[in-house]
Amino acid sequence: MNVKLDALDRKILAELTRNARIPVAELARTVGLSKTPVALRIKHLEEIGLITGYRAILSPVRLGLTHVTYVEVSMSDTREAALQQFNAAVRAIPEIEECYMIAGGFDYLIKVRSRDMADFRRIMAERISGLPHISNTSSYVSMEAVVEQTFTFS
């Protein structure tokens, strides 16, 4: 569903992606409206599913999760039931930060956050290697995050 946004909706979204804790009164001043229309617009954006929630963004580095590894996964079975089993199982592993189904030379790309290489090895051995329908994996250790951000609206 494509959502039609006017300039004020865009300004509201841009401000909320920068600071979701901004008071409505301050947001209203920033976008040039009064509080009630801004609150109504936010409520509408939530109701249509454009704003899906608010959350704290934690620093993985401050939590000691400085090791990032990308894992290519090839599946032994790509029928829908097998994919659904894999998807459900991968969602249950908290160390998996992201997982994407890929069109190409492999089936999934997983981003794993861990403390260090030994921790990653444990995660691979105890969790990822036991995922259903995996035929093989290839791992790539990240040396540096050049761009790492959450989606913002501008």
Express each pLDDT in 57-88 by its tens digit: 888 989 999 999 999 999 999 999 999 999 99
* 7's tokens: 């300039």
Burial of 123 (0-12, 13-18, 19+ CB in 10 A): buried
> CB of 128 within 8 A of CB of 112?
yes
Write down the pLDDT at residue 154.
64
- For tokens 């617009």, what's the residue? 41
Write down the pLDDT at residue 55.
87
Side-chain-facing half-sphere of 89: CA atoms under 13 Å:
15
Rounded to whole angstroms, how far apart are CA atoms 114 and 116? 6
Whole-prediction pTM value?
0.82
Residue 151 has pLDDT above 80, yes or no: no
Stated length of the chain = 154
Q: What is the mean pLDDT of residues 88-109?
A: 97
pLDDT tier at 1 (50, 70, 90 boundaries)?
Answer: low
- For tokens 């997982």, what's the residue? 99
Write down the pLDDT at residue 152.
72
The phi and psi torsions of 27 (rounded to 5 degrees) equal: -60, -40
Rounded to whole angstroms, how far apart are CA atoms 102 and 106? 7
> Amino acid identity of 1?
M
Residue 147 has pLDDT above 70, yes or no: yes
Write down the pLDDT at residue 98.
96
Rounded to whole angstroms, how far apart are CA atoms 73 and 135? 8
In this predicted model, what pLDDT tens digit does every residue of 25-58 receive, in sequence order?
A: 999 999 999 999 999 999 999 999 999 999 888 8
* 24's tokens: 């409505």
